[in-house]
């Protein structure tokens, strides 16, 4: 088991008039190599939850175990080798003189040096899709998409067993967003990594994860496969969420074409369902 969370609770500003329970009795088990999406409206506890997984925040009560290691202040060095966390707009954290140094910063902190660092950086830019010619350039002279890739590459280079991404496609055009997600998929396949994806995009979750956890006011509202969660469109609507737009379209189309399979959640699935329907009609 990659991640075991038992009865996790977190409260902000304890003892003050502004005390707020951000997480309440969270219990989650995530298997090695699993891809999990986390969704919820603003303030539901998504970011608070993932920040517990590498020790940025500590539980008020409950426990977290990552690959057999308890998350506590004594184990921070080992936990952060296991868990890579990519914040929303990670390019805001770039600071080194060159792309090479920025990607290699975390590696140097882990004790790697010389040829080993260079090899790991070259492997990583191949995964993330960065041109080798950019390595000696200043990261601040790159495009927005390239900066995002450099920032994510700095995390991937350390080959974490658990990779957490908080809105990795935010602010990018569709091409840039797809490139980031494709790189994450490639990294997962090559390293059997466990992926946790926080996103407001139901379409992205439908394409890239197998399981979705829905948070609402600090509690787990739903936890199931993509199909199980998105079939509960009324419940999602009641807590301020929605199903993918293509699913809404297919359900409307089904009213005109009753035999059409509308339980689809990506454009690719919709295309296959419509072609399948048309082929049956021709027969």
Mean pLDDT of 11-23: 91
CA–chain centroid gap for 281, Å, is 40
Alpha carbon distance 220, 89 (integer Å): 26
Classify residue 191 by burial, with Cβ atoms within 10 Å: 0-12, 13-18, 19+. middle
User: What token pair was written down for 165?
Assistant: 């991404």
The mean pLDDT of 197-210, rounded to a whole number, is 93
When pLDDT is cut at 50, 70 and 90, the band that residue 14 belongs to is: confident
- Examine the pLDDT at 94 and tell me if it is beyond 70: yes
pLDDT at 110: 87
* Mean pLDDT along residues 73-96: 91
pLDDT over 60 (residue 266)? yes
Rg over CA atoms, the chain: 21
Please provide the DSSP assignment of 156-206 as one string. Answer: HTT--SEEEEESTTTT--HHHHHHHHHHHHHHHHHHT-EEEEE-S-HHHHH
Tokens 């008020």 label which residue? Answer: 60
**Percentage with pLDDT > 90 across the chain:** 82
- When the pLDDT of each residue in the chain is averaged and rounded to a whole number, the result is 93
- Cα–Cα distance for residue pair 84/156, rounded to 1 Å: 7
pLDDT at 191 over 60: yes
Q: Tell me the pLDDT tens digit for each residue of 30-84.
A: 999 999 999 999 889 999 999 999 999 999 899 999 999 999 999 999 999 999 9
Measured CA distances, 249 to 210, 228, 235 (Å): 22, 18, 18
pLDDT at 279 over 90: no
pLDDT band at 226 (very low <50, low <70, confident <90, very high): very high
Q: For residues 120 and 15, which has the higher predicted lDDT (pLDDT)?
A: 120
pLDDT for residue 283: 55
When pLDDT is averaged across residues 256-271 and rounded to a whole number, the result is 92
Percent of the chain scored above 70 by pLDDT? Answer: 99
pLDDT of 204 over the 80 cut = yes
Q: What is the mean pLDDT of residues 163-170?
A: 92
| pLDDT tens sequence across 108-151 | 988 898 999 999 999 999 999 999 999 999 999 999 899 999 99
């Amino acid at each position: 088991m990659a991640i075991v969370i038992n009865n996790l609770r977190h409260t902000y500003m304890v003892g003050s008039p502004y005390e707020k329970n951000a997480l309440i009795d969270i219990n989650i088990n995530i298997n090695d190599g699993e891809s999990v999406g986390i969704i919820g409206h603003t303030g539901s506890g998504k970011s608070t939850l993932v920040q517990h997984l590498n020790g940025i925040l500590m539980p008020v009560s409950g426990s977290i175990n990552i690959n057999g290691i308890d998350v506590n202040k004594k184990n921070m060095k080992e936990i952060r080798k296991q868990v890579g966390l990519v914040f929303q707009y990670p390019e805001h954290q770039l600071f080194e003189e060159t792309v090479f140094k920025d990607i290699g910063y975390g590696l140097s902190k882990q004790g790697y040096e010389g040829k080993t660092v260079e090899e790991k950086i070259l492997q990583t830019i191949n995964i993330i899709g960065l041109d080798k010619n950019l390595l000696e350039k200043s990261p601040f002279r790159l495009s927005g998409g390239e900066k995002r890739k450099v920032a994510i590459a700095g995390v991937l280079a350390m080959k974490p067993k658990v990779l957490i991404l908080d809105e990795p496609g935010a602010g990018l055009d569709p091409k840039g967003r797809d490139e980031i997600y494709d790189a994450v998929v490639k990294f997962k396949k090559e390293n059997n990594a466990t992926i946790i994806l926080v996103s407001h995009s139901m379409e992205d979750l439908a394409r890239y994860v197998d399981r979705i956890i829905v948070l609402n006011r600090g509690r787990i509202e739903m936890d199931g496969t993509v199909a199980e969660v998105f079939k509960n469109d009324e419940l999602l609507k009641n807590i301020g969420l929605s199903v993918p737009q293509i699913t809404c379209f297919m359900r409307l189309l089904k009213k005109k074409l009753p035999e059409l399979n509308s339980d689809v959640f990506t454009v690719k699935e919709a295309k296959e369902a419509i072609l399948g329907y048309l082929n049956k009609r021709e027969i």
